[in-house]
Amino acid sequence: MSDVKMLINGKLVEGDHKLKVVNPATEEVFSVVARASKDQAAEAVAAAKAAFPGWAATPIEKRQAIVTAIADVIHKNADELARLLTAEQGKPLTEAAGEAAWSEGYMRHYATLSLETKVIQDDENARVEMRRTPLGVVAGIVAWNFPLLLAVWKIGPALVAGNTIVLKPAPTTPVATMRFGELIKDVVPPGVINIIADENDLGPYLTSHPDVAKVSFTGSGDTGKRIMKSSADTLKRLTLELGGNDVAIVLDDVDVKKVAPKIFDAAFFNCGQVCMAAKRIYVHDKVYDAMADELTKIAGEAVVDDGTKQGTRLGPLQNKAQFEKVKGFIEDARKSGAKVFGGDRLDRPGYFLRPAIVRDVKEGSRIVDEEQFGPVLPMIRFTDTADVVQRANASPYGLGGSVWSSNPERARAIAEQIDAGTVWVNQHVNIGPHIPMAGAKQSGIGVEQTHEGLAEFTQVKVLNMAKA
């Protein structure tokens, strides 16, 4: 798909530059899209700023209706958007269709949220109200693993709260999001949603712009830290959903045959390119070998292929840089003496790696301590539950984690000790728009989803009125 345009001030705009987009399953360019110059980024911010007063004054019921209309557009064009997601991101078409459906569902949920005034005091002395008012222009910056879903995570609450937005997709996956912009052009008032593409050169401009009131970012911790620095001079509001090195703790009483497929899905969904994926698994010594054997069996049977082909379970890694990074993790593990099953590259074009189960590793190795963000699962033995909690919590990350046991209450007691924003019991990556999501430690700042997430896009305003 070529000639995909940007959305600026309600118009579809050619870029001052062009951006080539590579299909990771073929390593060939499949689309050339419009790419913004700094002047065009400035136009997008100016358009959002000009549209803000009118949009903020629009009754929330009308804003909710427009968010619902955007969900309708996603529904009507879900097949096209899913195919674009597979072409640019690499995920199997079934997962891409799921992303489109989730995007629609999240938007519909956002349209049900509202911002009620809270009466704090109302007596003979005074009436004190707390209101939530919109901030202004939001810069939404999106990662490449879920291009459309992450975009609506920012657009939905921003609009319901009364903000306008400039959205920047990742330069390796802009196509579906920009096509989405084309489809909603006539649904939203001009300037309320602006979508521009770059080549990783406009982020600092947006995050330091004096007319941007808030930055909502999903991506790596290193980039998140740069955004904090860039935003400091204007004290922008920030929501940063960053990386994770999510732990899964498997106790000695699990049914290995039952749990292993769930662990595999938790680790390898979207080729492991999920911020909340299980990225290191601590398994009790009593069931370690059986769990390793079962995971190895599942990995060996998993079909790795082009996401458009029926039966594909794992597609390619999304881009060459990530492909080389994950290869480096696997090579480092082999050199350190770990037992690695899989992890080899397919003998064909594309950024394909077979899923890797890595046995007999410990903390101190890169593959355990760092976020791999790929089809890799290191397995670490443990014998003492108090010890494993300490080891799990030693990570600087704290996005999510899980505990697995045939005794849910036993698992819960351990889950309550894990330092993470979300901890699951006997499941992993069970999320939804009705569940708040917040990273602990270096996995993020702020909350997404639910009323708590909506509040992140607002300013508290207290109206304190004396009574005569």
DSSP per-residue codes, 213-253: EEEEEES-HHHHHHHHHHHGGGT-EEEEE----EEEEE-TT
Q: What percent of the chain has pLDDT over 70?
A: 100
User: Which among 105, 10, 92, 1 is positioned nearest to 48, based on CA atoms?
Assistant: 10
> What radius of gyration, in Å, describes the C-alpha atoms of the chain?
23
pLDDT averaged over the chain?
97
195-231 residue pLDDT tens: 999 999 999 999 999 999 999 999 999 999 999 999 9
Contact by Cβ (8 Å): 160, 188: no
Q: Is the pLDDT of residue 1 over 70?
A: no
Q: Where in the chain is the domain with CATH 3.40.309.10?
A: 246-433
- Cβ-count burial 427-436 (b if 16+ within 10 Å, e if not): ebbeeebeee
Helix or strand or coil: residue 117? coil
Pick one of 3.40.50.720, 3.40.605.10, 3.40.50.10320, 3.10.20.30 as the CATH number of 6-242+443-466.
Answer: 3.40.605.10
Residue 284 CA to residue 270 CA, distance in Å, equals 27
Residue 238 CA to residue 299 CA, distance in Å, equals 39
Look at residue 196 in the predicted model and tell me its pLDDT: 98
Residue 468 CA to residue 466 CA, distance in Å, equals 6
Look at residue 215 in the predicted model and tell me its pLDDT: 98
Amino acid at position 211, single letter: D
Which of 88, 95, 241, 448 does the annotation list as catalytic?
Answer: 241
Domain spanning 246-433: which CATH class is it, in words? alpha beta
Contact by Cβ (8 Å): 461, 132: yes
Say what the pTM is.
0.96
Residue 90 CA to residue 103 CA, distance in Å, equals 18
Which of 88, 99, 275, 448 does the annotation list as catalytic?
Answer: 275
324 is catalytic: no
241 is catalytic: yes
Bridge partners for 420 per DSSP: none
Q: Where in the chain is the domain with CATH 3.40.605.10?
A: 6-242+443-466
371-416 residue pLDDT tens: 999 999 999 999 999 999 999 999 999 999 999 999 999 999 999 9
163-201 residue pLDDT tens: 999 999 999 999 999 999 999 999 999 999 999 999 999
Contacting residues for 331 by C-beta, under 8 A, at least 6 apart: none
Look at residue 3 in the predicted model and tell me its pLDDT: 84
Query: What mean pLDDT do residues 421-444 have?
Result: 97
